[in-house]
Amino acid sequence: MSDHYAVIGNPIGHTKSPLIHGMFAEMTRQNLVYTAIEGSLGGFATDVDRFRQAGGRGMNVTAPFKLDAFAYATEHSDRARLAGAVNALKFDGDRVLAENFDGIGLTRDVVHNLGCPLKDKRVLLLGAGGAARGALLPFLAQGPTVLDIANRTLEEAQALAQEVADLGTVRALRYAHLETEQYDLVFNATSASLRGELPPVPATVFAPGALAYELAYGKGLTPFLRLAQGAGVQQLADGVGMLVEQAAEAFAWWRGVRPQTQDVIDQLKIPLV
Active site residues: 66
Cα of 65 vs its chain's centroid, Å = 15
Q: How far apart are CA 117 and CA 250, in angstroms?
A: 23
Distance CA 60, CA 69 (A): 10
CB 39 within 8 A of CB 63: no
Question: Reading across the β-sheet that carries 88-92, which strands appear in turn?
Answer: 32-38, 3-9, 56-61, 88-92, 95-99, 75-76
- Enumerate the β-bridge partners of residue 4: 33, 56
d(C-alpha 103, C-alpha 84), whole Å: 13
Phi and psi for 206 in degrees, rounded to 5? -90, 120
Residues with Cβ within 8 Å of residue 249, at least 6 apart in sequence: 88, 99, 101, 104, 105, 108, 258
Distance of CA 133 to the CA centre of its chain: 10
Q: Which secondary structure element, helix H or strand E, spans residue 161, and what is its range?
A: helix 154-163
- The number of beta carbons lying within 10 Å of the beta carbon of residue 10 is 17
Three-state secondary-structure class, residue 117? coil
